[in-house]
């Protein structure tokens, strides 16, 4: 009897993942009337519930842009806050339609997790938040130190690669949640807290004394962050990808939330195609032809989203840098609508 019970116990350990069989994400989304979007549990500037009880942030606005393309309604979206370890399972299992959660695009994630990245909406790099009093200029100065880090992130591995490849020693204290890692760092358990730079700027703003800490200029890794979708639905993949490109193209052509109605009268063929005055580009991906018009009218172009949440117009004040358009010295370059 006992043996049978043990066997049954092991049997229960088998996965119980129930995945909906439909590959028609757009149909499902239209049927239920909103986009289910996986976001960060709370990161200032990227995804956070504000004083008004609404979600705000860079990633959140991307969710709203997708909802606008489908429903012409920036509020036709529901948010699922996810931590680092549960995010991919939520997408794989169909709990969310799209994951926009400062997630790094890597080969493993593209090739073996049943998901695919639809673009890069923020070019990030890993850095270190350190006490100003240490007067460090680069991360190598942390040789022999202790670093607080959040588990379930690419950060952990980059950290080890950086120190080990240079023959430097370090200790890593890995926490499940960012809040505990930051609080241990503030208590002096660690000499540095490491994460993507965007995350560090946000973290620094929420610390007791932001001026006592500084983000190092050095970037020890490439962290292209972007939205991810399931691999089995090319139509949905195209929608998410092209909403992103529409935001970039709109900035390139100077189309903003304020002037989009005026721009719709433009005779520039590129703008006419983007805003649905010419061709049937929206219909090709299952949307209405004014999809991009609706996106820009509801959330603005890429530059507006950036400035409002994390850039010059926000307390974070992150510089565009790599995230500027290719025409302004950055590396954002969207394929044309044609």
Partner 1 sequence: MRPSRLPRHAMDASFWRDERVRAVAAQVLAFAAVVAVFAWLVTNTAANLDRLNIRLTLGFFDERAGFNILQTPIPYDNNSTYLRAFLVGLVNTLIVGVIGVILATILGFLVGIGRLSSNWLLARLATIYVETFRNIPLLLQLVFWAEAVLTLLPRAQQAIELPFGATLSVRGLYLPAPVAESALLWVGVAFLAGIAAAYLLGRWARGRQARTGQRFPAASVGLALIFGLPILTFLVLGRPLAWEPPVLQRFNFTGGIPIIPELAALVLGLVIYTAAFIAEVVRGGILAVPRGQIEAARAVGLSSGTTMRRVIIPQALRAIIPPLTNQYLNLIKNSSLAVAIGYPDLVGVFKNTVLNQTGRAIEVVAITMAVYLFISLAGSVFMNRFNARVAIRER
Instruction: Show contacts with partner 1 in window 80-139 (CB under 8 A).
Output: 84-85, 88-89, 92, 108-109, 112-114
Return the structure tokens found at 256.
Answer: 């903003």
3-state helix, strand, coil in the chain (%, to 5): 40, 20, 40
- Output 52 or 187, the one with its CB closest to partner 1: 187
Region of 33-41, 62-70, 184-192, 295-303 interacting with partner 1 (CB under 8 A):
184-192
Which residues does residue 56 pair with via DSSP β-bridges, in sequence order?
48
Region of 3-11, 207-215, 267-275, 287-295 interacting with partner 1 (CB under 8 A):
3-11
The distance of closest approach from Cβ of residue 285 to partner 1 in the complex, given in angstroms and rounded to an integer, is: 22
CA atoms of 199 and 129, how far apart (whole Å): 10
196 binds partner 1 per the rule CB under 8 A: no
181 binds partner 1 per the rule CB under 8 A: yes
CA atoms of 264 and 319, how far apart (whole Å): 30
The distance of closest approach from Cβ of residue 104 to partner 1 in the complex, given in angstroms and rounded to an integer, is: 11
Return the structure tokens found at 6.
Answer: 């043990």
161 binds partner 1 per the rule CB under 8 A: yes
Cβ-Cβ contacts under 8 Å for 32 (sequence gap 6 or more): none
Binding mask 218-257 for partner 1 (x = CB under 8 A): ------------xxx-------------------------
The distance of closest approach from Cβ of residue 277 to partner 1 in the complex, given in angstroms and rounded to an integer, is: 39
212 binds partner 1 per the rule CB under 8 A: no
- Per DSSP, which regions of the chain are E strands? 35-40, 48-49, 55-56, 77-82, 98-99, 115-117, 122-124, 126-131, 145-150, 170-175, 192-196, 213-215, 223-225, 228-230
CA atoms of 226 and 234, how far apart (whole Å): 17
CB atoms within 10 A of CB 45: 23
* Helix runs in 254-325, H state only: 260-263, 269-274, 281-284, 291-299, 302-309
Region of 13-21, 215-223, 264-272, 311-319 interacting with partner 1 (CB under 8 A):
13-21
Total residues contacting partner 1 (rule CB under 8 A)? 56
Region of 70-78, 167-175, 250-258, 312-320 interacting with partner 1 (CB under 8 A):
167-175
Q: Are strands 145-150 and 213-215 parallel, antiparallel or unpaired?
A: unpaired
Instruction: Enumerate binding residues for partner 1 (CB under 8 A).
Output: 6, 9-11, 13-19, 21, 84-85, 88-89, 92, 108-109, 112-114, 142, 144-146, 148, 151-154, 156-157, 159-161, 164, 170-177, 180-181, 183-184, 187-189, 191, 230-232
């Amino acid at each position: 009897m006992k043996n049978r019970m043990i066997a049954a116990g092991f049997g229960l350990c088998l996965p119980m993942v129930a995945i909906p069989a439909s590959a028609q994400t757009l149909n499902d989304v239209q049927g239920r009337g909103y986009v289910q979007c996986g976001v960060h549990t709370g990161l200032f500037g990227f995804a956070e519930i504000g004083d008004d009880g609404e979600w705000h942030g860079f990633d959140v606005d991307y969710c709203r842009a997708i909802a606008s393309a489908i429903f012409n309604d920036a509020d036709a979206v529901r948010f699922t806050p996810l931590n680092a370890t549960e995010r991919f399972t939520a997408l794989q299992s169909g709990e969310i339609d799209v994951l926009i959660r400062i997630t790094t695009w890597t080969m493993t994630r593209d090739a073996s997790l049943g998901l695919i990245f639809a673009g890069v909406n923020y070019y990030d790099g890993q850095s270190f938040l350190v006490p100003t009093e240490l007067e460090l200029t680069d991360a190598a100065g942390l040789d022999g130190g202790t670093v607080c880090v959040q588990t379930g992130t690419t950060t952990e591995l980059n950290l080890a690669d950086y120190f080990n490849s240079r023959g430097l020693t370090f200790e890593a204290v890995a926490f499940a949640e960012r809040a505990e890692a930051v609080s241990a760092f503030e208590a002096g358990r660690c000499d540095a807290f490491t994460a993507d730079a965007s995350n560090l700027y946000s973290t620094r703003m929420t610390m007791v004394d932001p001026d006592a800490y500084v983000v190092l200029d050095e970037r020890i890794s490439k962290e292209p962050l972007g939205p991810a979708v399931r691999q089995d639905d090319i139509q949905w993949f195209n929608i998410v990808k092209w909403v992103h490109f529409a935001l970039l193209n709109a900035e390139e052509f100077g189309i903003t939330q304020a002037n989009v109605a005026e721009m719709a009268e433009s005779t520039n063929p590129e703008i006419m195609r983007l805003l649905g005055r010419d061709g049937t580009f929206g219909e090709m991906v299952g949307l209405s032809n004014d999809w991009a018009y609706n996106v820009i009218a509801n959330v603005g172009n890429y530059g507006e989203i950036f400035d409002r949440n994390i850039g010059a117009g926000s307390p974070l004040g992150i510089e565009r840098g790599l995230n500027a358009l290719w025409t302004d010295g950055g590396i954002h370059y969207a394929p044309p609508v044609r």
